[in-house]
Structure 1
């Protein structure tokens, strides 16, 4: 089809053909239920939307079409030109489903390991094409186009790279080094001139992205209530206001005539479906071998070396033998925490990524970026807090489907298909996120969800927090500390057994009848009630059978404890836990000898059993020199011991 009119003189012919384009765009908008138009002008470049046909016409008359937009993949095409069964970035009929299409560079390369140094003769193009065939089986035109590109040499007579592989490797460099589209286009133009005549390398970033478009994964943009009451999906998908709080779904902006018009959604959840990513893992032979490592590769000597050595793993195999008999079934861990996306702690903005990790693979690969899947991105001015269950709903639905029904997956290692199932093994987070996910109030006198009612606590008036005691209950029955009753142990001996561990069924009985109301502002339950909700994880059929459902991350268990211990021993400013408030609380509990003494404008803190002399501090610093710490912790160790006393010993 001739599209030369798009880049010629903007005359009567241009205006006449422009109306044909606008009609095509309107029809495409009607079919997909979108309320806006993607604008292909030289300024917007299919990355922005306009609100009306008239506004789209105005952009194209004043600025013209972007270069090389010869196939109208963003505005609908006839079946003779391109298959319309595939979404290339246009919303679906609910206005939620969006394909990453040509926008996201990194998603295209999730199967390509930067460290693998894939040779042209040993690439993974066959695996990619096998996976792609499943993804776009309803669109043979696009699949055939990808097959042709995977076999077409980059240039005639001696090229070792196919066109598809060359573009993939170039885009891998672009994504890994953060190149801009402009700089990448300049590189492509230079390479086209350097390669032999007749080469097939695209000369623009847009053409490369269009070539790689079917390899990308999709995501969903789901509108959310600004107060975290609901997601506008399913029965709420057509609503314009929240049925619980009455807040508008969209921002209201000035239309220029003194009135208001509908703008962008006030809050959006980004959901990245997990099933397509699982399929891509099993389409790679190397990844399939990793998925079987827990059965074939690990050392089974009775020691706890891997998650598969834990009692919970064996309990799942016994309780659900059909699931445990297939080693390719996945066991997943869920991680979430709040981050600041703008690199400054003063910015009042919250962003909560929710990620999944795979426990089937070797432990040294579990936290590699290739095997960490971003599933949810909760972005907004305030953190979700107790309402995080509202945003987890799409992920939980997929996890329930993967457990109950499973999904048919192609195994590249055996060249066969099998029904893959998956389960959520546990969550990993810090303690505040623990409370949000489990639905338990942590900042109370009963702050431990495991100990529950049997925990002992004491309110510290000066420090303004709870102190939890009774740790001697976890010692052996004949331990010497159990019999001591000095002031350090509140003058009591300890003969009680540890708190009774509640099974999943017993714990569920305590929360199953809780009626949860989501939304801001958060209304805490009355005093004496510690469970704030029935967590959405209880909807998973196997959640009651897990020993440990929520885990605390290593950084807070090890690093923060180390910071506190070393900071207190070396009396580091802003790091020590032995301050004036702590001493006043200790003096109020019969430790009068430790009470701070005011001497004019200064306060003298008497030495305690943790107070070290200068010589003893030097010994501690010397001992830390040879400590081997995990990767990423060395800088923290150096920061902790690089104080005045440690400099004397050459640190």
Structure 2
């Protein structure tokens, strides 16, 4: 009865109200919620559940009948166990499950109710399964051929002209698992719905979970997306997506992107369990196993359902009556490369790679990559570390980084879309770090700056790896010394070339790599290169001492860490998660 979307004709977000009062008008958010409350309170429309689910379906006499006479196992339990084994063993085929069922049916006491094939087992519980929607997709991820769009009956993509079928078969498809029926099942099952009303355990003055923070609480305050709504009747969601390579060998890479939603206000003990996490679909790989070129057509399906479920009635088993539930996607948990694809941002190696502030990187010609030298912006204004001594920029930083507003970002993205050619768009992206509009902007409450929370796992792991490489001098060479010279730092380590010196410290690596680097740096191979020890690297004797200390650390049996020579073999740290890596560093340097 009610849904929402963003009115792109106006600078202010509008909500699409289809009640009898507005009859399909774009109205402000407050008006939308007020009309919703008035309509339901006055009962001008019946509050009927949008999706029907009856928990009694699990109590079907046929499914709860004994597997055979005198058995303690019901037919539903037996079928569920077999299908669980089938779904968790990815190499198991349907014919293999059929053979297992036939064998067990013959060995069980006769007569018994066990189905004799995969098809019979699936048909037995088919009415309990969540519906799936399968769509044909352009092989280049341009469009999804949905029935309610202008692409429904097309035989080829209107953008890239690639055919939809090959030899009578669809070239690429996408299976979507809708959110609404799963929410209806959760609220309609008493024991599951009861979890939403359970008291949250909290410690006064201690931040123990995301739901204890001010950002989460602001969603339920005046002006928040869940304003004046009881918390158990709200479904705040968090989106995660990333490229996954299911094969071990990169030569046969098949990159796929799962779309996963997490229900934020579920109890913390079950929030990240695979069952309550909502897999919406897996975006398939492109031609030759490459990753999808864009996520937009797939996200459009999810966004349309979220708009439709902004406020919708469901049967609440805990209360025993229909209630209005509010659904909103309010958090994004991805790493920076995934954000670049999801939110149309520049990558982490771009000049404008920071997604939060206006800081511009510095392209270092010696290292041939972008580096960020404004590394004091997080410090307080009066901090002594803001002095210029020892930093790449030899001046004093007296202000914090600035950022753009949500409206300013929207205008810059619209400007990108209106530019006439690719060259101008690339120039605009280089200046702003933005690559046009994206599907999630259709959500009226969307605010990237507040809702984007990068996954820190890669950041912490990569940072510790870089620190280890710096300590052992793994990447030390002429390029690093030239970079320091360009910033006028550490003159005692700058490269010195002296043909009279016979004992020099050559760049590390094989002879072939050494020759290639010398050619790149325009250095005469007959001329000796003197690389003085750096103040941040350990000597060989110091590395041996560090290895001995790392091998002597005692860990708890709860930590899957093996003591070892982590300094001479830093790759062993990659087997630990980021938290354990930080713990290792703390113990190593104490």
SS at the partner of 2:52?
A: helix
Q: Please state how far the C-alpha of 1:394 moved relative to its aligned partner.
A: 0.2
Going from structure 1 to structure 2, the CA distance change for 1:280 and 1:537 (only over 3 Å counts) comes to: same
Residue matched to 1:305: 208
2:257 to 352, 374, 394: 352
1:595 aligns to 2:494 (yes or no): yes
**Aligned partners of 2:568, 2:505: CA distance in 1, in Å?**
29
Residue matched to 2:36: none
Map 1:64-463 → 2, pairs under 5 A:
134=52, 147-156=60-69, 158-178=70-90, 179-233=92-146, 234-251=149-166, 253=167, 263-292=168-197, 296-318=199-221, 319-320=223-224, 321-322=226-227, 324-379=229-284, 380-381=286-287, 382-385=290-293, 387-403=294-310, 405-406=311-312, 408-442=313-347, 443-452=349-358, 455-463=359-367
Does the 8 A contact of 2:164 with 2:170 survive in 1? yes
Does the 8 A contact of 2:237 with 2:264 survive in 1? yes
RMSD value, Cα:
3.8
Residue matched to 1:611: 537
Q: Alpha-carbon deviations, 1:419-478, whole Å to 9, x = none?
A: 2221112111121211222222234322212112xx142211122111112222321223
Q: Alpha-carbon deviations, 1:396-418, whole Å to 9, x = none?
A: 11111222x32x33334444432
**Aligned partners of 2:494, 2:332: CA distance in 1, in Å?**
42
**Aligned partners of 1:177, 1:519: CA distance in 2, in Å?**
49
Does the 8 A contact of 2:256 with 2:291 survive in 1? yes
1:476 aligns to 2:380 (yes or no): yes
1:540 aligns to 2:452 (yes or no): no
Residue matched to 1:49: none
Q: Please state how far the C-alpha of 1:611 moved relative to its aligned partner.
A: 1.0
Q: Alpha-carbon deviations, 1:10-65, whole Å to 9, x = none?
A: xxxxxxxxxxxxxxxxxxxxxxxxxxxxxxxxxxxxxxxxxxxxxxxxxxxxxxxx
Q: Please state how far the C-alpha of 1:248 moved relative to its aligned partner.
A: 1.9
Alignment TM-score, normalising by the size of structure 2: 0.72
Going from structure 1 to structure 2, the CA distance change for 1:477 and 1:524 (only over 3 Å counts) comes to: closer
Alignment TM-score, normalising by the size of structure 1: 0.66
Q: Please state how far the C-alpha of 1:564 moved relative to its aligned partner.
A: 1.9
Q: Please state how far the C-alpha of 1:521 moved relative to its aligned partner.
A: 13
Going from structure 1 to structure 2, the CA distance change for 1:601 and 1:556 (only over 3 Å counts) comes to: closer
Does the 8 A contact of 1:587 with 1:593 survive in 2? no
Going from structure 1 to structure 2, the CA distance change for 1:298 and 1:510 (only over 3 Å counts) comes to: farther
SS at the partner of 1:551?
A: coil
Going from structure 1 to structure 2, the CA distance change for 1:351 and 1:361 (only over 3 Å counts) comes to: same
Does the 8 A contact of 1:149 with 1:162 survive in 2? no
Map 1:437-586 → 2, pairs under 5 A:
437-442=342-347, 443-452=349-358, 455-483=359-387, 485-495=388-398, 497-515=399-417, 524-526=426-428, 527-544=430-447, 548-571=450-473, 576-586=474-484
Going from structure 1 to structure 2, the CA distance change for 1:556 and 1:135 (only over 3 Å counts) comes to: same
Going from structure 1 to structure 2, the CA distance change for 1:188 and 1:248 (only over 3 Å counts) comes to: closer
**Aligned partners of 1:425, 1:518: CA distance in 2, in Å?**
33
**Structure 1 stretches of 5 or more lacking a match?**
1-130, 138-142, 254-262
**Aligned partners of 1:267, 1:519: CA distance in 2, in Å?**
29
Aligned residues: 486
Using CA pairs under 8 Å that are at least 6 residues apart, name the structure with larger relative contact order, 1 or 2: 2
SS at the partner of 2:437?
A: coil
Going from structure 1 to structure 2, the CA distance change for 1:585 and 1:642 (only over 3 Å counts) comes to: closer
The runs of at least 4 aligned residues of structure 1 exceeding 6 Å deviation read 143-146, 516-523, 627-633
Q: Please state how far the C-alpha of 1:634 moved relative to its aligned partner.
A: 4.0
Going from structure 1 to structure 2, the CA distance change for 1:629 and 1:388 (only over 3 Å counts) comes to: farther
Going from structure 1 to structure 2, the CA distance change for 1:633 and 1:553 (only over 3 Å counts) comes to: farther
Does the 8 A contact of 2:504 with 2:531 survive in 1? no
Q: Please state how far the C-alpha of 1:626 moved relative to its aligned partner.
A: 4.8
Does the 8 A contact of 2:207 with 2:213 survive in 1? yes
